[in-house]
């Protein structure tokens, strides 16, 4: 372990102490960490580790500095662990597992399974062993007991063979060597065992020079005896033989039991063959019941014991051969049927239940035939019966009947749900439609009032967007139920995705004066692979519900967490949405994810929606192999926890040397945000400190200045009780001037207060949640370009001028064509139009190269649809045919439709109805 030792020495020189991660301290599984040096120096263990080995943390650490000391009484155990580590390092493996002994303080030991992982410590960049222990004492004890019982049974087995009245021999199935003969076999063969064992079985028993077909064949199995008769010409007698494959001292062997034709056993066996053939012809189990008490079973055969679920010993010892296995509720009816057989002299039948020993209930069809004492061979009147198991048939009949009932109920529920849905949708769709129609009428009546027209247009815009969201939800649910929805995996930046989501909800929350609490917790990997749009849809659905169902002045929160994942290149994330709104009743929570379901409550009936949002959310989460959990109480609020796994993307490590050791003060009234920010700063190599109020912040900054250890920067929350961020900023500037850069953080849109804060001396702004990349980028900008230019989020560059660009708009609907053309003209485009794909192709091919900068293509059109038109355009012998951008205008913005558009030769897509900003961004992307 030379490499490991060098790692250890370097680690020791730096004298960096490793500590148990907080999240592992109370884990019920024992976890410990050691350096990969020659003695496996102990670093830390969680509480379960010390409990497992019977030491307190203090006593263990004071007695043992490494695992070699701990295993002083078991040096071979330590050597075995070292050997596993060396082998893992040589093979390039990071994981291994082995069973080890754990020395206990009393001198004994316990058994455990060690799951070891070799990894580099993120702090020291050195190799360490991370071990997890699982107790296996019970398994080891069970194994030893099994071995003892096995030896005991083996001794008894040998005794039974030695005393068997017939012939017994055991031979190796591969070499045909005789391994054992009992005394009777030696007498029949006329040779002592010592002279026969080791010779070929076919030589000793049959006088052959080669194996016979019976020595090895497909009918020999370890599960049951194969019975056959054999006339031995050497011994001049016929044998009734039973063969079976057994394990004889580690060798695959054939056990043969036999009786010759002169023995009573042979004669009885022949009679048994005849009787068994007769019994086998009867299905089910046979019984003879005493006719005097109608309870005692005098004789049974066939599969009787299997039918009632008892062994012979259990039936005779526990039930005392009584009819008590019949179900108590059926006993009276069975007795009546038996009496009917006696009185009528004819066979009777009844379907009754029996209770097996393990409590299972089986259904038997039983026939009864009565024989009087005078006609009985032993003078005992009896009922002879045959029972056949019909449980499977009756169960299947019941299942089919229940399935029909369930299907009927499901159809009835679905019908009622759809009726309610149509009723609700009729109201929810008519509401925005009524607003659109009404506002249009009002606008027409007030053409001379620009203010009134502007107000009407704003309300028409809001209502139309709400109507679009209703339609999208219905279409999404239809796609999900038909199994046609797809996930489009792409590289996704979680900070950017969360920022996009919060951009939607900040104004909505501000409108209702709701407090936003947004936090990122332990997010180590910010770039993942997932369907960004669908993940965004999940968060939008949950947050929109939180805002809708939380009254004015309430609180809505979003927390993003990365939890430990033991899968390589996989990350486990939680998105937690909370609110203190109206909440849900305990009875409604199990139904929240059902389509069309909404809580029946006076406050929710006034809130518009389809009742599909949560069903869509759950289905998307499941498609991502995630889970969604809901906790809620009526009147106190709700919490939704979405847990999803993501593939991780490799992220380039930033050079943070210029930030190393710089002190930073975090000021926020939320302790969780303070701790999270401090952890990020520590990862960047900075020195962090945090306080929970503006007053404490002023005191800390002044104290640091007087101690000549000024903070490099202050991260200051905007909204805090008592002294808010603006007041704190002004006081710090008054006392210290502009020496310390101050960064303002907020969960809200700061555009309205940005100028006021900058005038007061703010240097930069960061929106919550706080991700490592945001903080790192801001500090690097402060260091490199001067504080005044620092900003957490780079402002978007405006679209470069598209004025004068010429586009061909292909749209069959006249109104849609007119709207799109007008929107494009308003932004300086020159627009040509075509009513279908064929006209577009004909127009394009006759115009010179460079005429069109882009083609906007509708998908569903008569004569020639958008896909066909795109393929035809790309196939033209025209200089621009392969290069002109073609953008799909489609109402089907699903992954399958997008893929079809790309296959047809289109460059990108724009969803209908057209969002002007999205259209311009897409055009800017493709027009050169």
- Same structural domain for residues 325 and 468? no
Indicate if 27 and 118 belong to the same structural domain. Answer: yes
Report the candidate in 829, 747, 851 with the shortest Cα–Cα distance to residue 517.
747
**One domain for residues 103 and 223:** no
* Structural domain containing residue 898: 806-926
- Token code pair at residue 149: 């019982």
Identify the domain boundary among 461, 482, 503: 482
Task: Kindly tell me if the per-residue pLDDT of 81 is higher than 90.
Answer: yes
Residue 743: how many other CB atoms lie within 10 Å: 24
Residue 771: give its domain's CATH number: 3.40.50.2300
| pLDDT tens column, 260-271 | 877 777 767 666
Distance CA 412, CA 746 (A): 51
The tokens describing 885, both together, are 């951008």
Considering the domain architecture, whether residues 215 and 171 belong to the same structural domain is answered as yes
CA 10 to CA 124: how far, in whole Å?
A: 10
- pLDDT for the residue 20: 85
Q: Tens digit of pLDDT for each residue in 369-411?
A: 999 988 888 889 999 888 888 888 888 888 888 888 888 887 7
What is the model's pLDDT at position 222? 86
Largest interatomic CA distance in the chain = 130
Residues whose CB is less than 8 angstroms from the CB of residue 576 and which lie 6 or more positions away in sequence, other chains included: 557, 558, 559, 560, 561, 639, 640, 641, 642
Which pLDDT tens digit goes with each residue over 862-871?
A: 999 999 999 9
User: In the structure, what pLDDT confidence band is assigned to residue 602 with cuts at 50, 70 and 90?
Assistant: very low
Report the pLDDT value the prediction gives residue 414, as an integer from 0 to 100.
65
Dihedral sign computed on CA atoms, order 686, 689, 694, 698: negative
User: Same structural domain for residues 341 and 259?
Assistant: no
Whether residues 320 and 357 share a domain: the answer is yes
0.85 exceeded by the pTM?
Answer: no
Q: Are 668 and 677 in contact (CB under 8 A)?
A: yes
Same domain? For 171 and 255 the reply is yes
> Is there a single domain that holds both residue 505 and residue 637?
yes
Same domain, 122 and 172: no
Judge whether 670 and 521 are in contact, CB under 8 Å: no
Residue 336 sits in a domain whose CATH number is 3.30.450.20
Residue 744 near residue 757, CB atoms below 8 Å: yes
Residues 745, 766: contact at Cβ < 8 Å?
A: yes
Range with lowest mean pLDDT among 144-158, 222-236, 502-516? 144-158
Q: Are 133 and 119 in contact (CB under 8 A)?
A: no
Average pLDDT over residues 7-29: 65
More confident residue, 359 or 231: 359
DSSP category for residue 320: T
* pLDDT band of 145, cuts 50, 70, 90: confident
Same domain, 710 and 830: no
DSSP string, 552-611: TT-EEEEEEEEE---STTEEEEEEEEEE-SS---TTTGGGTTSTT-----TTTTTS---S
The candidate with the shortest Cα–Cα distance to 367, out of 341, 395, 332, is 341
Q: Provide the number of structural domains found in the chain.
A: 7
Please tell me which residue, 256 or 463, carries the higher pLDDT value. Answer: 256
CA nearest 259: which of 239, 237, 281?
239
Instruction: Return mean pLDDT, the chain.
Output: 83
Residue at 180 is within a domain: yes
Question: Quick one: 642 and 726 in the same domain?
Answer: no
CATH of the domain at 576: 3.30.565.10
Residue 143 lies in a domain: no
As a whole number of angstroms, the distance between CA 65 and CA 68 comes to 9
- Which residue among 597, 631, 648 closes a domain? 648
Q: Do residues 573 and 636 both lie within one domain?
A: yes
- Examine the fold and report which residue of 456, 482, 508 is the final residue of a domain before the chain moves on: 482
- pLDDT above 80 for 215: no
In a domain, 149, yes or no: no
């Amino acid at each position: 372990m030379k490499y490991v030792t060098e790692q250890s020495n370097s680690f020791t020189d730096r004298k960096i102490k490793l500590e148990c991660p907080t999240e592992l301290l109370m884990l019920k599984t024992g976890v410990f960490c050691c350096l990969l040096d020659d003695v496996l120096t102990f670093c830390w263990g969680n509480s379960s580790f010390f409990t497992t080995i019977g030491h307190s943390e203090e006593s263990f650490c004071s007695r043992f500095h490494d695992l070699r000391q701990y295993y002083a009484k078991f040096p071979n155990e330590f050597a075995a662990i070292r050997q596993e580590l060396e082998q893992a390092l040589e093979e390039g493996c990071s994981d291994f597992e082995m069973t080890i002994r754990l020395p206990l303080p009393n001198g004994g030991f316990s058994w455990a399974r060690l799951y070891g992982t070799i990894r580099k410590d993120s702090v020291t960049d050195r190799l360490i062993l991370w071990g997890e222990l699982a107790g296996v004492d019970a398994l080891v004890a069970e194994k030893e007991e099994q071995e003892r019982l096995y030896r005991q049974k083996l001794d008894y087995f040998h005794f039974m063979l030695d005393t068997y009245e017939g012939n017994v021999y055991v031979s190796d199935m591969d070499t045909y060597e005789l391994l054992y003969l009992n005394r009777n076999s030696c007498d029949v063969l006329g040779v002592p065992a010592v002279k026969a064992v080791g010779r070929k079985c076919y030589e000793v028993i049959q006088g052959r020079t080669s194996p016979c077909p019976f020595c090895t064949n497909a009918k020999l199995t370890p599960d049951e005896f194969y019975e056959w008769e054999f006339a031995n010409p050497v011994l001049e007698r016929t044998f009734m033989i039973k063969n079976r494959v057994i394990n004889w001292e580690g060798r695959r062997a054939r056990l043969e039991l036999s009786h010759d034709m002169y023995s009573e056993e042979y004669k009885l066996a022949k009679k048994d063959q005849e009787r068994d053939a007769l019994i086998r012809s009867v299905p089910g189990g046979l019984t003879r019941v005493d006719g005097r008490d109608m309870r005692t079973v005098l004789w049974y055969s066939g599969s009787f014991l299997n039918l009632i679920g008892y062994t012979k010993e259990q039936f005779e010892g526990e039930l005392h051969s009584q009819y008590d296995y019949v179900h108590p509720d059926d006993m009276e009816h069975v007795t009546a049927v038996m009496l009917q057989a006696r009185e009528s002299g004819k066979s009777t039948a009844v379907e009754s239940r029996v209770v097996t020993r393990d409590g299972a209930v089986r259904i038997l069809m039983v026939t009864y035939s009565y024989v009087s004492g005078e006609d009985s061979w032993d003078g005992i009147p009896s009922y002879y019966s045959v029972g056949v198991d019909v449980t499977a048939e009756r169960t299947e009949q019941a299942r089919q009947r229940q399935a029909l009932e369930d299907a009927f109920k499901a159809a009835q529920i679905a019908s009622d749900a759809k009726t309610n849905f149509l009723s609700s949708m009729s109201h929810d769709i008519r509401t925005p439609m009524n607003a659109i129609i009404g506002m249009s009428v009002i606008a027409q009546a007030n053409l001379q009032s620009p203010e009134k027209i502007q107000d009407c247009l704003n309300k028409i815009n809001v209502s139309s967007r709400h109507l679009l969201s209703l339609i999208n939800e219905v279409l999404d649910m239809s796609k999900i139920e038909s199994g046609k929805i797809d996930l489009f995996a792409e590289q996704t930046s979680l900070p950017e995705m969360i920022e996009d989501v919060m951009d939607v909800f900040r104004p909505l929350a501000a409108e209702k004066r709701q407090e936003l609490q947004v936090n990122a917790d332990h997010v180590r990997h910010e770039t993942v692979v997932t369907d960004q749009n669908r993940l965004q849809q999940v968060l939008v659905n949950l947050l929109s519900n939180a805002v809708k169902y939380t009254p004015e002045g309430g609180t809505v929160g979003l927390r993003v967490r990365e939890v430990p994942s033991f899968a390589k290149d996989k990350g486990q994330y939680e998105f937690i949405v909370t609110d203190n709104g109206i909440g849900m009743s305990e009875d409604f929570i199990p139904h929240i994810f059902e389509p069309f379901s909404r809580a029946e409550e006076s406050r929710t009936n006034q809130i518009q929606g389809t009742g599909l949002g949560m069903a869509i959310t759950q289905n998307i989460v499941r498609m991502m192999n995630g889970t969604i959990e809901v906790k809620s109480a009526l009147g106190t609020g709700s919490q939704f926890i979405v847990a999803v796994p993501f593939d991780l993307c490799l992220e380039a490590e930033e050079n943070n040397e210029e930030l190393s050791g710089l002190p930073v003060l975090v000021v926020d009234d939320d302790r969780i945000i303070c701790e999270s920010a401090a952890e990020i700063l520590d990862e960047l190599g900075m020195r962090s400190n945090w306080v929970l109020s503006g007053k404490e912040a002023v005191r800390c900054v002044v104290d640091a200045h007087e101690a000549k250890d000024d903070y490099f920067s202050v991260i200051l929350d905007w909204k805090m009780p008592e002294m808010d961020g603006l007041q704190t900023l002004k006081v710090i500037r008054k006392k210290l001037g502009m020496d310390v850069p101050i960064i303002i953080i907020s969960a809200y849109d700061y555009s309205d207060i940005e100028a006021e804060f900058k005038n007061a001396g703010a240097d930069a702004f960061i929106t919550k949640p706080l991700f490592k990349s945001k903080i790192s980028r801001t500090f690097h900008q402060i260091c490199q370009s001067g504080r005044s230019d620092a900003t957490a989020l780079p402002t978007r560059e405006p679209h470069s001028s598209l004025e004068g660009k010429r586009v061909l708009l292909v749209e069959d609907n006249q109104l849609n064509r007119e709207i799109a053309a007008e929107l494009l003209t308003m932004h300086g485009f020159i627009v040509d139009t075509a009513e279908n794909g064929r006209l577009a192709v004909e127009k394009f091919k006759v115009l010179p190269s460079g005429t069109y900068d882009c083609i906007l293509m509708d998908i569903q059109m008569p004569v020639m649809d958008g896909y066909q038109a795109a393929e035809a355009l790309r196939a033209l012998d025209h200089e621009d045919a392969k290069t002109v951008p073609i953008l799909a205008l489609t109402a089907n913005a699903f992954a399958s439709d997008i893929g079809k558009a790309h296959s047809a030769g289109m460059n990108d897509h724009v969803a209908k109805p057209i969002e002007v900003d999205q259209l311009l961004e897409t055009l800017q992307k493709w027009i050169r």
